[in-house]
Amino acid sequence: MSGHRLTFRPMQEGDLSMVMEIELRAYPHPWSEGIMRDCLRSGHHCWLTLYGNRIVGHAVMSIAADESHLLNIAIDPKCHGHGYGRILLKHMLGLAQQKNVGTVFLEVRDSNRVAATLYDSVGFNEVGRRRGYYPATKGREDAIVYGLIL
């Protein structure tokens, strides 16, 4: 995947079919199209990552007062291993800084060590745990809550 660089643009409702294709490939328990649409309509910061003209990832972040919550971040599994997740995460953190956010929070599945390693590497710290937060194939799975002071 050379010859192009990643670009970003705000997500629009017309992007939802492609976003949902990625969401369904990326997560065993993906968000629904209705949840994504509600995030767009409620004014959350919904962004796309593009490689050339192709959507390769998306992120959704809420901002209230001086806090931000990274609600969803996904890279198409077909594009893993190129650092796109790190680039998208840094884009979202930059957006939070532009909006004068002091702290960014997020949750990650306890079993998602790849994501946890990424968050650790950019300075997030574990600040809590939500027991049984995520649906799992058998029962529920804990979420690790991470925070980053900008």
- CA pseudo-torsion sign 31, 35, 41, 45: negative
What is the rounded (10 degree) CA torsion for 89, 1, 18, 30?
Answer: -50
User: Is 119 designated active site?
Assistant: yes
111: left (phi over 0), alpha (psi -120 to 50) or beta: alpha
Active site residue 107: yes
The single residue of 119, 134, 141, 146 carrying the catalytic annotation is 119
Contact between 85 and 75 (Cβ < 8 Å): yes
Cα(41)–Cα(30) distance, integer angstroms: 19
Which one of 107, 134, 141, 146 is the catalytic residue? 107
**Which residues are the active-site residues?**
107, 119
